Amino acid sequence: MSILADFKASGYAIGDLQAVRYDRNSPLFPDGYLGFLYRGLGEGRRNGFRRSNLQMTFTGMTDLSFDAIVSYLAAQKLIVLGKWEGQTFRTAGICWPNLLLAERRTGFGSYTALRWIWGSPEEEIFGMLGIAALFEEFNLIQLHGQRYAENHLTARFMARFGFKDVSGPIPRLLAKAGEAEPRPGIISTLSREDFERNCEERIAAAAGRISLAIS
């Protein structure tokens, strides 16, 4: 059994953190949930909600209005990342495949987190759970990502899981709201094998730290 199969058998859960497929009929996701995501993903560190804060998440999209983003999310195969607080499932972020090439078992994915989880130890665990769910639920052997060339925070975060850039900045790759000229973009990629190896090494390291603490 692979570590990804183990993740699936556990319901993509580690402790009180879990990745769950979005289902608008589930009581976990009340009416208006996608509107809640829109507002939550638009929250910045200091300036409250700003539509422009959505741009790094919805890379290449030029219409960041409520109707456009909610309609877009409603059409995606969302995986919601959340923390169980008693009986309440508190949303921490989402991920989804935004382009699947089923016959080749490869595709592009997106990942984003809400402000309250930024910089916490849980954020990295959520990243691992989300990527595991993308690989296993959609039977992928390769997962790609794209970002604006200036988005260094995403580059550093995704590198923790084994993503590697496969291009330098590609000129005029990604549109941006309010700009006539597309911006340079970078493509990164992660193989199923590299991700599994990355997870196994992390779990072994965590087990080693626990063993040292006990001894």
| Alpha-carbon gap, residue 59 to 176, rounded angstroms | 7
pLDDT for 203 equals 78
**Other beta carbons within 10 Å of 197:** 13
SS3 category, 148 = strand
**Neighbour-count burial of 204, counting CB atoms closer than 10 A to its CB (0-12 exposed, 13-18 middle, 19+ buried):** exposed
Please give the CATH number for the structural domain made up of 3-214.
Answer: 3.40.630.30
Beta strands in 120-163 (DSSP E): 142-148
Q: What's the sign of the alpha-carbon dihedral 189, 193, 197, 200?
A: positive
Residues 102 and 47 sit within 8 Å (Cβ to Cβ): no
Per-residue pLDDT of the chain (215 residues; tens, 9 = 90+): 689 999 999 999 999 999 999 999 999 999 999 999 999 999 987 768 889 899 999 999 999 999 999 999 999 999 999 999 999 999 999 999 998 887 779 999 999 999 999 999 999 999 999 999 999 999 999 999 999 999 999 999 999 999 999 988 999 999 999 999 999 999 999 999 999 999 998 877 765 554 334 33
pLDDT for 211 equals 39
CA separation, residue 127 to residues 81, 82, 108, 114 (Å): 9, 11, 15, 12
pLDDT for 209 equals 52
- Residue 101, C-beta contacts closer than 8 angstroms, at least 6 positions apart: 107
